[in-house]
A = this chain, B = another copy of it.
Amino acid sequence: MSDTPLAIGIDFGGTSVKTGVVFRGNVIDHAPPISTQDFDEPEDLIDAMVRVIEDLRSRHSHIAAIGVGMPGFVDFDRGVVYNLTNVRGWVEIPLKAKLEEKTGLPAVVENDANCMAYAEWKRGAGRGLKHLVCLTLGTGVGGGIIANGQMVRGARHGAGEVGQTSIDYRGRRGAYGNLGALEDYVGNNEITNTAVEAYHAAGTHKSAEDCTPAGLASAAHAGDPIALQIWDDVGEKLACTIMNCCWLLNPEAIIIGGGVARAGDLVFGPMTSHLYAQLSAPFKDHLMILPARFGNEAGMIGAAALALEQAGFPVEP
Protein backbone atom coordinates (compact mmCIF):
# COMPACT_ATOMS: atom_id res chain seq x y z
CA MET A 1 0.00 0.00 0.00
CA SER A 2 1.06 3.59 -0.39
CA ASP A 3 -0.11 6.78 1.17
CA THR A 4 -2.41 7.61 -1.75
CA PRO A 5 -5.38 9.06 0.06
CA LEU A 6 -8.92 7.77 -0.14
CA ALA A 7 -11.83 9.82 -1.41
CA ILE A 8 -15.58 9.69 -1.05
CA GLY A 9 -17.35 9.26 -4.39
CA ILE A 10 -21.03 10.09 -4.58
CA ASP A 11 -23.30 9.14 -7.45
CA PHE A 12 -26.34 11.38 -7.06
CA GLY A 13 -29.14 9.86 -9.15
CA GLY A 14 -32.71 10.90 -9.78
CA THR A 15 -34.05 8.40 -7.22
CA SER A 16 -31.12 7.48 -5.00
CA VAL A 17 -27.77 8.78 -3.81
CA LYS A 18 -25.02 6.18 -3.70
CA THR A 19 -21.89 6.82 -1.69
CA GLY A 20 -18.65 4.85 -1.65
CA VAL A 21 -15.08 5.02 -0.47
CA VAL A 22 -12.73 4.89 -3.44
CA PHE A 23 -9.09 3.85 -3.44
CA ARG A 24 -7.22 4.02 -6.76
CA GLY A 25 -10.24 3.31 -8.92
CA ASN A 26 -11.77 0.68 -6.63
CA VAL A 27 -14.85 1.18 -4.50
CA ILE A 28 -13.66 -0.41 -1.26
CA ASP A 29 -16.71 0.40 0.86
CA HIS A 30 -20.34 1.37 0.24
CA ALA A 31 -22.89 3.21 2.35
CA PRO A 32 -26.56 2.24 2.08
CA PRO A 33 -28.18 4.33 -0.68
CA ILE A 34 -30.27 7.34 0.29
CA SER A 35 -33.66 7.73 -1.38
CA THR A 36 -34.02 11.25 -2.78
CA GLN A 37 -37.80 11.00 -2.45
CA ASP A 38 -37.57 10.87 1.35
CA PHE A 39 -36.57 14.54 1.54
CA ASP A 40 -38.63 17.60 0.76
CA GLU A 41 -35.80 20.03 1.34
CA PRO A 42 -32.37 19.95 -0.29
CA GLU A 43 -30.85 20.92 3.07
CA ASP A 44 -32.27 17.76 4.69
CA LEU A 45 -30.96 15.56 1.89
CA ILE A 46 -27.55 17.20 2.18
CA ASP A 47 -27.58 16.49 5.92
CA ALA A 48 -28.35 12.84 5.21
CA MET A 49 -25.43 12.76 2.76
CA VAL A 50 -23.18 14.26 5.42
CA ARG A 51 -24.25 11.59 7.97
CA VAL A 52 -23.36 8.89 5.45
CA ILE A 53 -20.01 10.56 4.76
CA GLU A 54 -19.21 10.83 8.47
CA ASP A 55 -20.16 7.20 8.98
CA LEU A 56 -17.72 6.16 6.23
CA ARG A 57 -15.03 8.44 7.66
CA SER A 58 -15.41 6.72 11.03
CA ARG A 59 -14.42 3.47 9.31
CA HIS A 60 -11.65 4.84 7.04
CA SER A 61 -8.88 7.23 7.90
CA HIS A 62 -7.04 9.15 5.15
CA ILE A 63 -10.22 10.32 3.41
CA ALA A 64 -9.02 13.50 1.75
CA ALA A 65 -11.84 14.76 -0.46
CA ILE A 66 -15.43 14.35 -1.59
CA GLY A 67 -16.60 14.18 -5.20
CA VAL A 68 -20.24 14.27 -6.29
CA GLY A 69 -21.62 13.42 -9.73
CA MET A 70 -24.96 15.09 -10.42
CA PRO A 71 -27.64 14.26 -13.02
CA GLY A 72 -27.89 17.72 -14.54
CA PHE A 73 -26.21 21.03 -15.19
CA VAL A 74 -23.71 22.10 -12.57
CA ASP A 75 -21.32 25.00 -12.28
CA PHE A 76 -18.13 23.09 -11.67
CA ASP A 77 -16.06 26.12 -10.69
CA ARG A 78 -18.49 27.40 -8.07
CA GLY A 79 -19.78 23.94 -7.12
CA VAL A 80 -23.39 24.94 -7.63
CA VAL A 81 -26.13 22.62 -8.88
CA TYR A 82 -28.27 24.68 -11.26
CA ASN A 83 -31.33 22.51 -11.49
CA LEU A 84 -32.35 18.87 -11.12
CA THR A 85 -35.50 18.01 -13.00
CA ASN A 86 -36.20 14.86 -10.98
CA VAL A 87 -35.45 15.95 -7.42
CA ARG A 88 -37.65 18.43 -5.57
CA GLY A 89 -36.22 21.83 -4.72
CA TRP A 90 -32.80 21.40 -6.25
CA VAL A 91 -32.42 24.78 -7.91
CA GLU A 92 -29.23 26.82 -7.50
CA ILE A 93 -27.91 24.74 -4.59
CA PRO A 94 -24.30 25.54 -3.54
CA LEU A 95 -23.58 21.88 -2.82
CA LYS A 96 -19.79 22.14 -2.78
CA ALA A 97 -19.81 24.93 -0.18
CA LYS A 98 -22.36 23.13 2.00
CA LEU A 99 -20.47 19.83 1.96
CA GLU A 100 -17.19 21.59 2.71
CA GLU A 101 -18.72 23.55 5.56
CA LYS A 102 -20.39 20.51 7.10
CA THR A 103 -17.51 18.03 6.69
CA GLY A 104 -14.37 20.16 6.64
CA LEU A 105 -13.23 18.24 3.53
CA PRO A 106 -12.62 19.73 0.09
CA ALA A 107 -15.46 18.83 -2.28
CA VAL A 108 -16.17 18.97 -6.01
CA VAL A 109 -19.49 18.83 -7.81
CA GLU A 110 -19.56 17.69 -11.42
CA ASN A 111 -21.99 16.47 -14.06
CA ASP A 112 -22.40 12.67 -13.83
CA ALA A 113 -21.44 11.95 -17.42
CA ASN A 114 -18.27 13.98 -16.97
CA CYS A 115 -17.53 11.87 -13.88
CA MET A 116 -17.93 8.71 -15.94
CA ALA A 117 -15.58 10.15 -18.56
CA TYR A 118 -13.14 11.11 -15.83
CA ALA A 119 -13.21 7.59 -14.38
CA GLU A 120 -12.48 6.03 -17.76
CA TRP A 121 -9.76 8.57 -18.52
CA LYS A 122 -7.93 8.36 -15.20
CA ARG A 123 -8.62 4.79 -14.15
CA GLY A 124 -10.32 2.92 -16.96
CA ALA A 125 -10.23 2.26 -20.69
CA GLY A 126 -8.74 5.66 -21.55
CA ARG A 127 -5.79 5.73 -19.19
CA GLY A 128 -2.88 7.74 -20.49
CA LEU A 129 -4.76 9.18 -23.46
CA LYS A 130 -5.02 12.89 -24.23
CA HIS A 131 -7.93 13.00 -26.66
CA LEU A 132 -11.01 11.06 -25.71
CA VAL A 133 -14.77 11.04 -26.18
CA CYS A 134 -16.92 9.04 -23.76
CA LEU A 135 -20.54 8.11 -24.33
CA THR A 136 -22.86 6.57 -21.82
CA LEU A 137 -25.95 4.90 -23.24
CA GLY A 138 -28.96 4.49 -20.99
CA THR A 139 -32.29 6.21 -20.44
CA GLY A 140 -30.35 9.28 -21.37
CA VAL A 141 -27.28 9.47 -23.57
CA GLY A 142 -24.52 11.38 -21.81
CA GLY A 143 -20.96 12.14 -22.65
CA GLY A 144 -17.69 13.69 -21.69
CA ILE A 145 -14.78 15.03 -23.70
CA ILE A 146 -11.07 15.15 -23.00
CA ALA A 147 -8.95 17.24 -25.40
CA ASN A 148 -5.28 18.13 -25.05
CA GLY A 149 -5.24 16.17 -21.79
CA GLN A 150 -7.95 18.31 -20.18
CA MET A 151 -11.64 17.87 -19.52
CA VAL A 152 -13.64 20.09 -21.88
CA ARG A 153 -16.37 21.84 -19.91
CA GLY A 154 -16.74 24.90 -22.12
CA ALA A 155 -17.80 28.40 -21.21
CA ARG A 156 -20.67 27.48 -18.86
CA HIS A 157 -19.93 23.85 -17.99
CA GLY A 158 -22.37 22.66 -20.65
CA ALA A 159 -19.91 20.83 -22.92
CA GLY A 160 -19.73 17.09 -23.55
CA GLU A 161 -23.44 16.51 -24.09
CA VAL A 162 -22.89 14.10 -26.95
CA GLY A 163 -26.44 12.72 -26.68
CA GLN A 164 -28.00 16.09 -27.39
CA THR A 165 -26.22 16.62 -30.69
CA SER A 166 -28.37 16.19 -33.77
CA ILE A 167 -28.16 13.45 -36.34
CA ASP A 168 -30.98 14.90 -38.45
CA TYR A 169 -31.46 18.64 -38.88
CA ARG A 170 -35.13 18.08 -39.55
CA GLY A 171 -35.63 15.40 -36.89
CA ARG A 172 -38.24 15.66 -34.20
CA ARG A 173 -37.89 18.18 -31.40
CA GLY A 174 -36.46 16.86 -28.15
CA ALA A 175 -36.67 17.86 -24.51
CA TYR A 176 -34.32 20.81 -24.89
CA GLY A 177 -35.85 22.12 -28.10
CA ASN A 178 -33.16 20.58 -30.28
CA LEU A 179 -34.11 18.76 -33.47
CA GLY A 180 -32.99 15.20 -34.10
CA ALA A 181 -30.97 14.65 -30.89
CA LEU A 182 -29.17 11.29 -30.75
CA GLU A 183 -30.73 10.59 -27.34
CA ASP A 184 -34.17 10.80 -28.91
CA TYR A 185 -33.27 7.85 -31.15
CA VAL A 186 -31.09 5.63 -29.02
CA GLY A 187 -32.15 6.32 -25.42
CA ASN A 188 -33.61 3.24 -23.70
CA ASN A 189 -37.22 4.33 -24.06
CA GLU A 190 -36.85 5.30 -27.70
CA ILE A 191 -35.30 1.95 -28.53
CA THR A 192 -38.23 0.26 -26.81
CA ASN A 193 -40.86 2.42 -28.53
CA THR A 194 -39.25 1.92 -31.92
CA ALA A 195 -39.19 -1.85 -31.39
CA VAL A 196 -42.82 -2.06 -30.23
CA GLU A 197 -43.82 -0.17 -33.38
CA ALA A 198 -41.64 -2.31 -35.63
CA TYR A 199 -43.16 -5.52 -34.26
CA HIS A 200 -46.65 -4.03 -34.58
CA ALA A 201 -45.97 -3.07 -38.22
CA ALA A 202 -44.89 -6.67 -38.81
CA GLY A 203 -48.16 -7.95 -37.31
CA THR A 204 -46.65 -9.10 -34.01
CA HIS A 205 -47.67 -7.82 -30.64
CA LYS A 206 -44.84 -7.17 -28.23
CA SER A 207 -45.14 -5.16 -25.04
CA ALA A 208 -42.74 -2.52 -23.86
CA GLU A 209 -41.55 -5.06 -21.27
CA ASP A 210 -40.59 -7.43 -24.09
CA CYS A 211 -38.73 -4.66 -25.84
CA THR A 212 -36.33 -3.37 -23.23
CA PRO A 213 -32.75 -3.24 -24.52
CA ALA A 214 -32.07 -6.45 -22.55
CA GLY A 215 -35.13 -8.15 -24.09
CA LEU A 216 -34.15 -7.00 -27.57
CA ALA A 217 -30.63 -8.29 -27.00
CA SER A 218 -31.99 -11.74 -26.14
CA ALA A 219 -34.30 -11.70 -29.16
CA ALA A 220 -31.45 -10.66 -31.45
CA HIS A 221 -29.18 -13.37 -30.07
CA ALA A 222 -31.96 -15.84 -30.92
CA GLY A 223 -31.88 -14.54 -34.51
CA ASP A 224 -35.05 -12.42 -34.47
CA PRO A 225 -34.70 -10.26 -37.62
CA ILE A 226 -36.69 -7.34 -36.23
CA ALA A 227 -34.52 -7.15 -33.13
CA LEU A 228 -31.40 -7.41 -35.27
CA GLN A 229 -32.64 -4.56 -37.43
CA ILE A 230 -33.30 -2.43 -34.33
CA TRP A 231 -29.71 -2.91 -33.20
CA ASP A 232 -28.43 -2.14 -36.68
CA ASP A 233 -30.41 1.11 -36.63
CA VAL A 234 -29.01 1.98 -33.20
CA GLY A 235 -25.51 1.36 -34.54
CA GLU A 236 -26.16 3.49 -37.63
CA LYS A 237 -27.27 6.45 -35.50
CA LEU A 238 -24.43 6.11 -33.01
CA ALA A 239 -22.01 5.95 -35.96
CA CYS A 240 -23.20 9.34 -37.20
CA THR A 241 -22.52 11.02 -33.87
CA ILE A 242 -19.21 9.26 -33.38
CA MET A 243 -18.15 10.31 -36.86
CA ASN A 244 -19.02 13.90 -35.97
CA CYS A 245 -16.90 13.63 -32.84
CA CYS A 246 -14.01 12.37 -34.98
CA TRP A 247 -14.18 15.26 -37.45
CA LEU A 248 -14.51 17.79 -34.65
CA LEU A 249 -12.13 16.36 -32.06
CA ASN A 250 -10.09 13.58 -33.71
CA PRO A 251 -9.91 11.55 -30.49
CA GLU A 252 -7.56 8.66 -29.93
CA ALA A 253 -10.45 6.65 -28.54
CA ILE A 254 -14.20 6.59 -28.22
CA ILE A 255 -15.27 4.88 -24.99
CA ILE A 256 -18.81 3.57 -24.73
CA GLY A 257 -20.55 2.56 -21.54
CA GLY A 258 -23.96 2.51 -19.90
CA GLY A 259 -26.73 -0.07 -19.93
CA VAL A 260 -27.40 -0.18 -23.66
CA ALA A 261 -23.71 -0.84 -24.27
CA ARG A 262 -24.20 -4.15 -22.45
CA ALA A 263 -25.77 -5.44 -25.65
CA GLY A 264 -22.10 -5.78 -26.65
CA ASP A 265 -21.48 -6.90 -30.21
CA LEU A 266 -25.10 -6.17 -31.09
CA VAL A 267 -24.26 -2.48 -30.64
CA PHE A 268 -20.53 -2.41 -31.33
CA GLY A 269 -20.75 -4.53 -34.50
CA PRO A 270 -23.21 -2.43 -36.53
CA MET A 271 -21.87 0.81 -35.08
CA THR A 272 -18.32 0.03 -36.13
CA SER A 273 -19.38 -1.13 -39.55
CA HIS A 274 -21.52 1.98 -40.23
CA LEU A 275 -18.72 4.15 -38.87
CA TYR A 276 -15.89 2.60 -40.85
CA ALA A 277 -17.96 2.82 -44.04
CA GLN A 278 -17.82 6.58 -43.76
CA LEU A 279 -14.61 7.46 -41.92
CA SER A 280 -11.60 8.35 -44.02
CA ALA A 281 -8.25 6.70 -43.46
CA PRO A 282 -6.48 9.15 -41.14
CA PHE A 283 -9.27 8.73 -38.60
CA LYS A 284 -10.13 5.07 -39.14
CA ASP A 285 -6.58 3.81 -38.94
CA HIS A 286 -5.91 5.28 -35.54
CA LEU A 287 -9.24 5.29 -33.74
CA MET A 288 -9.88 2.91 -30.87
CA ILE A 289 -13.48 2.09 -30.04
CA LEU A 290 -13.48 0.73 -26.53
CA PRO A 291 -16.11 -0.54 -24.14
CA ALA A 292 -16.06 1.31 -20.83
CA ARG A 293 -14.23 -0.46 -18.03
CA PHE A 294 -16.56 0.67 -15.30
CA GLY A 295 -20.27 -0.01 -14.98
CA ASN A 296 -22.52 1.35 -12.24
CA GLU A 297 -19.55 2.50 -10.19
CA ALA A 298 -18.12 4.80 -12.87
CA GLY A 299 -19.76 7.89 -11.37
CA MET A 300 -18.39 7.26 -7.88
CA ILE A 301 -14.93 6.40 -9.17
CA GLY A 302 -14.74 9.42 -11.45
CA ALA A 303 -16.09 11.85 -8.84
CA ALA A 304 -13.57 10.55 -6.31
CA ALA A 305 -10.64 10.82 -8.75
CA LEU A 306 -11.66 14.35 -9.71
CA ALA A 307 -12.02 15.33 -6.05
CA LEU A 308 -8.51 14.10 -5.28
CA GLU A 309 -7.03 15.93 -8.26
CA GLN A 310 -8.70 19.17 -7.28
CA ALA A 311 -7.55 18.71 -3.69
CA GLY A 312 -3.97 18.50 -4.86
CA PHE A 313 -3.47 14.74 -5.12
CA PRO A 314 -2.93 14.15 -8.83
CA VAL A 315 -4.12 10.78 -10.07
CA GLU A 316 -1.14 9.10 -11.71
CA PRO A 317 -1.88 6.54 -14.39
Contact = CB atoms under 8 A, between A and B. Distances in A.
Nearest to A153: B250
A177 interface: yes
- State how many copies of this chain the complex holds: 2
Nearest to A161: B247
Interface stretch (A18-26, A52-60, A280-288): A280-288
Classify chain A: how many residues form its interface, as a range.
35 or more
A248 B161 contact: yes
Interface stretch (A143-151, A217-225, A257-265, A309-317): A143-151
Contact of A280 (B131, B145, B177, B245): B177
A244 interface: yes
B283 A165 contact: no
A237 B169 contact: yes
Contact of A147 (B148, B176, B177): B148
Interface in A154-182: 154-162, 164-170, 173, 176-180
Given A147-B148, A150-B148, A152-B147, A168 B165 contact: no
Contact of A160 (B168, B169, B237, B248): B248
Contacts of A213: none
Interface string A268-300: 000000000111101100100000000000000
A166 B148 CA distance: 24
B165 A167 contact: no
A282 B252 CA distance: 30
